[in-house]
A and B are shown apart, each in its own frame.
Chain A
């Protein structure tokens, strides 16, 4: 068998007793994790050989989440992290896409029963479910029925994202991705063995998971949060003297606003903030102008990892540099020199799971199409000017308008729904739904309908009713809709 992620990480550990990961669940050394991994290996061994089996993991506690992932990987299975923030519709479509042979799931998160949804999904399929109320004690439920074929293509894991039309996408990831990303994190973060680095992107996201793995590999203490409640985050920061943090501008804004309005010393140890996931606004720069630490920005994509970074403090400007092994070009430039930024990497994109058609759309002759628009400015530097795709970035999370539109449009009184993003002081961007429907339909009715169907962050922040949609070249004119939304919300305020 070729080298596994488990071997890559654990084969050369020098000090097994060093605390390497921490979260609200506690502090864990390599040795603690190895003991947990053994426990999960024994659980999985009950099921026989798991080579080529896909194992979905819906586990919000860091130690269990990591240990299950490593145990699956060690035994030759393919692990599939699934966000515990998902709700019925998005969860079901991901399970349908992945078709896991085994599922580890917590019973309930915030009163949403994953247990009942997963049990329902498993009916009439030959699958094994490990369910737990506390992510410690697991009960095995075995189902019989339709046999799910084994995976033939070798892969380490599959990471799920919302697809552009509301149908989810799985990104196939190999070990090489993690190996390459050592540089992707080390260059901007400049690792030091005494660092305590806080990774804020969720551990189930590609970027969050990859950062945890890379830091563990480099023997750097990594912290991650199981809760996005700001007091919980701040307590974790204060208890561990965090000196570097990787986060999105909107999450950092939330932390900073809180810390600034209290006397506590949450940010005293902070030497470096590395941002990603959203553009930095003038408003953000103004807010953090007096913060006494370096703040830099990086650019990457789940599909291919880190691509660009700016070594300057963002208060001095942004100057994009490529990370090693990355080339870029501007495709189909218009008269103003603006084109889609395409990247060529020294490791190939693993592709979208079971969707060669989608892979072909974004991966053209070795070049990965980012969906972001750029131009070369007067100083001959790359400048990112906007997005070609209409994805919304709220609080560092990506929201695909198509997914939200489809679910609202399923309401019997809705004729059509169009979702756009507009700027917001806390979220970065907020989600606005324009709805064309029956005269008797109310906002509250739509909010009620969306409860339990969509992750909370995807639920529109505002719903605006519209009689006719503005149309341009046969398509809904989202630029006009954004203007209408900004105007209407300003008037209301």
Chain B
């Protein structure tokens, strides 16, 4: 999944305009995605590209679009 596809996925599942989604966008503050919606997003994402939930255990990972993308892709560097 490329970052572009990841953005489109979040836009669709989270009902957020695509142009608001960028690497530093905060799920909570910028995209208004609350915790229950976040769980739904992670479960949908896991159906789409299976990943180990252990990587998203840390609240920091769930902060921004970029940090979640990096965690599920298993990469540490910037996208």
Question: Interface residues, chain A, CB within 8 Å of chain B?
Answer: 85, 110-111, 227-232, 234-235, 250-251, 254, 257-258, 260-264, 394-395, 424-427, 443-444, 447-448, 451, 456-457, 459, 461-462
Contact = CB atoms under 8 A, between A and B. Distances in A.
16 contacts: A110-B28, A110-B29, A111-B29, A228-B36, A229-B59, A231-B57, A260-B53, A261-B46, A262-B52, A262-B54, A395-B36, A424-B40, A426-B43, A427-B40, A444-B17, A451-B32
Given A110-B28, A425-B43, A447 B35 contact: no
Size class of the B contact interface (CB-based, 8 Å): 20 to 34
A376 B29 CA distance: 48
Interface in B29-62: 29, 32-40, 43, 46, 52-54, 56-59, 62
B60 to A, nearest CB: 9
Nearest to A87: B32
A369 B58 CA distance: 45
Nearest to B27: A229
Contact of B57 (A250, A262, A426, A451): A262
A276 B15 CA distance: 29
A257 B35 contact: no
Given A261-B54, A448-B17, A457 B43 contact: no
Nearest to B11: A444
A266 B36 CA distance: 18
Interface of B: 15-17, 28-29, 32-40, 43, 46, 52-54, 56-59, 62
A227 B54 CA distance: 20
A456 B34 contact: yes
Contact of A254 (B33, B36, B46): B36
B52 to A, nearest CB: 7
A230 to B, nearest CB: 6
Contacts of B16: 447
Contacts of A235: 59
Given A110-B29, A258-B53, A264-B57, A229 B17 contact: no
A419 to B, nearest CB: 15
A232 B59 contact: yes
Contact of B35 (A111, A229, A424): A229
Nearest to A266: B57
Contact of A227 (B17, B35, B43, B52): B35
A234 B39 contact: no
Contacts of A254: 36, 39
Nearest to A447: B15
Given A232-B59, A262-B54, 16 more contacts: A228-B34, A228-B35, A229-B62, A230-B39, A231-B56, A234-B57, A250-B36, A254-B39, A257-B39, A257-B43, A258-B57, A426-B36, A456-B33, A456-B37, A459-B15, A459-B32
Nearest to A395: B36
B43 A262 contact: no
Contacts of B33: 456
Contact of B54 (A85, A230, A257, A263): A263
Contacts of A427: 36, 40
Nearest to A227: B35
A426 B53 contact: no
A224 B36 CA distance: 17
Nearest to A430: B40
Contacts of A443: 15
